[in-house]
Amino acid sequence: MHHWALVLLLLLGSPAYSWSDWSARYDEDKPLSGERDHIMRAFDFYARLEDNFEKAGYDKRSRDLIEDYTTAILLPSYESCVRLLSKGNDGELLRAMIHLLQFAKNSASESFSNGIAAVFIANPKLVESVVLLLPPEERRVAYNELKAGWHNQVHSKRRTQRLAQLERTLERLKPRD
């Protein structure tokens, strides 16, 4: 059985009550209620996989499972999240995205930092309102990912008034250590 099939089996077969603090929102007898619900569950399950990877002593089997899950489920869910947050005003979904960044901060993929930066560029008020209320460590990780993605997004862009305004907003998000 391929790793991604095992991940999907685990995801669909795991009881919802075993999935961290987001679990209280889900009734096992109800199917996924939509794209947002799928995204939240995918993010939460990834956090569980990362926790298990650490507890398993970073073994190869756990790493392979995380890599397969990331490719098959997490990154497509993350892209959907970026799309929803770029147009919407869902602070809870953005908090879930930022929570995910705590687990993905060591990922070699730039998708995570580029995604939060894309949301910031499209919806800076939402990002600012959520990031400013984060606890210090979570804010630091969110800012670092946002800043890395920001540099990737604007690297070759011509400096405009809007870009300067976004840079000032980004500076306000910087954690004060």
Residue 80 to residues 18, 60, 96, 118, 119: CA-CA distances in angstroms?
Answer: 24, 29, 13, 12, 11
Selected residue with higher pLDDT from 21 and 135? 135
pLDDT band at 107 (very low <50, low <70, confident <90, very high): confident
* Dihedral sign computed on CA atoms, order 104, 107, 109, 110: positive
Per-domain boundaries in the chain: 3-173
**Is residue 129 pLDDT above 90, yes or no?**
yes
Q: Is the pLDDT of residue 11 over 70?
A: no
For residue 157, the model assigns a pLDDT of 78
Residue 24 vs residues 35, 43, 121: alpha-carbon distances, Å: 18, 15, 32
Residues 6+ apart with CB under 8 A from 2: 68
- Confidence (pLDDT) at 6: 45
Put simply, whether the predicted model's pTM sits higher than 0.85 gets the answer: no
Angstrom CA distances, 153 to 21, 62, 97, 148, 149, stand at: 33, 32, 18, 9, 6
State yes or no: pLDDT of 58 exceeds 60: yes
Residue-averaged pLDDT of the chain: 84
